[in-house]
C-alpha cells in the first residue's frame, strides 16, 4: 500500500479533565479508557508505512523538568511505542515540551510547518498548533491546518481544525481534509486593504 498522510491534534493523553472539557465518550475520570480509545483510533486508521502529522498537545498538561519531567518523557515514549506507524512528526502545542525534547520522542518537531506535494494537488499546506489569522499563500490558495481549539473556533478561509474532537476522536486523511477545504474560496486580495488599527506615532522629543 502506498504511504498515506494522516493529520491529527489534541489527543491530550493522560489528561483526565479532557473527558469533561471536550465531551469525550468515556466515563468521567476514566483516563485509561480515553487513552485506549485514542490509541485504537490511531492504530485502526494509520497503517505502519503511513505518515502521521500530529499538530500538538500529544499529552495533556504535564511538568517537563526535573524528576517529573523524566516521568513525563517516559509516559510520552511509552505511548509513542504503542502507535504502529513508523513515522510521526509533531507541531509543538502549548502542553508539549520543547522541540528538542519532542525530537527524542518523534521523528521531527516543528513550531510551524509548511509544505507542498500532497497526493491530490499542489496547494501549499501551512500547519501550526494554533489557528492563524493569516498564513503563507493565503491569497493564492494555500490551506491552513491547526488544532488547539477542539472544534470551538470558526474556520477562516481555507483552514480546518484537525483535532481528534472534530474527527471522531482520531486522525483524518490529509486528502480527505484537502478535498473539503479546496472547495472553499481563498480570501480576495485587495490592492489596498483598509487600515484596521489606528496609526501610532512615536512621541516627538
What are the sequence ranges of the domains in the chain? 5-181
According to the model, what pLDDT value does residue 1 have? 41
List all residues 6 or more positions away from 198 whose beta carbon is below 8 Å from its beta carbon. none
Burial (CB < 10 A; 0-12, 13-18, 19+), residue 147, is: buried
According to the model, what pLDDT value does residue 88 have? 98
> Each residue of 94-119: b (16+ CB within 10 Å) or e?
ebbbeeebbeebbeebbeebeeeebe
First to last CA, the chain: 69
Per-residue pLDDT of the chain (205 residues; tens, 9 = 90+): 458 999 999 999 999 999 999 999 999 999 999 999 999 999 999 999 999 999 999 999 999 999 999 999 999 999 999 999 999 999 999 999 999 999 999 999 999 999 987 666 788 999 999 999 999 999 988 999 999 999 999 888 899 999 999 999 999 999 999 998 988 878 777 655 677 777 777 775 5
Does residue 59 contact residue 12 with C-beta atoms inside 8 Å?
Answer: yes
d(CA 12, CA 125): 24
Q: Does domain 5-181 have CATH number 3.60.21.10?
A: yes
According to the model, what pLDDT value does residue 192 have? 52
Residue 73: what are its φ and ψ, rounded to 5°? -65, -40
Kindly give the pairing relationship between strand 5-8 and strand 51-54. Answer: parallel
Amino acid at each position: 500500500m502506498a504511504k498515506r498522510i494522516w493529520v491529527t491534534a489534541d489527543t491530550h493523553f493522560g489528561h483526565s479533565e479532557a473527558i469533561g472539557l471536550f465531551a469525550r465518550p468515556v466515563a468521567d475520570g476514566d483516563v485509561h479508557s480515553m487513552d485506549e480509545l485514542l490509541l485504537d483510533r490511531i492504530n485502526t486508521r494509520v497503517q505502519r508505512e503511513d505518515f502521521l502529522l500530529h499538530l500538538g498537545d500529544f499529552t495533556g498538561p504535564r511538568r517537563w523538568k526535573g524528576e517529573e519531567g523524566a516521568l513525563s518523557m517516559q509516559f510520552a515514549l511509552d505511548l509513542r511505542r504503542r502507535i504502529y506507524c513508523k513515522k510521526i512528526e509533531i507541531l509543538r502545542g502549548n502542553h508539549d515540551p520543547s522541540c528538542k525534547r519532542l525530537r527524542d520522542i518523534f521523528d521531527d518537531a516543528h513550531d510551524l510547518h509548511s509544505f507542498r506535494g500532497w497526493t491530490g494537488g499542489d496547494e501549499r499546506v501551512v500547519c501550526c498548533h494554533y489557528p492563524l489569522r493569516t498564513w503563507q499563500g493565503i491569497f493564492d490558495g494555500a490551506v491552513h491546518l491547526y488544532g488547539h481549539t477542539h472544534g470551538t473556533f470558526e474556520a477562516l478561509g481555507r483552514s480546518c481544525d484537525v483535532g481528534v474532537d472534530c474527527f471522531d476522536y482520531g486522525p483524518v486523511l490529509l486528502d480527505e481534509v484537502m478535498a473539503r477545504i479546496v472547495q472553499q474560496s481563498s480570501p480576495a486580495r485587495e490592492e489596498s486593504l483598509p487600515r484596521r488599527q489606528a496609526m501610532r506615532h512615536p512621541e516627538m522629543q
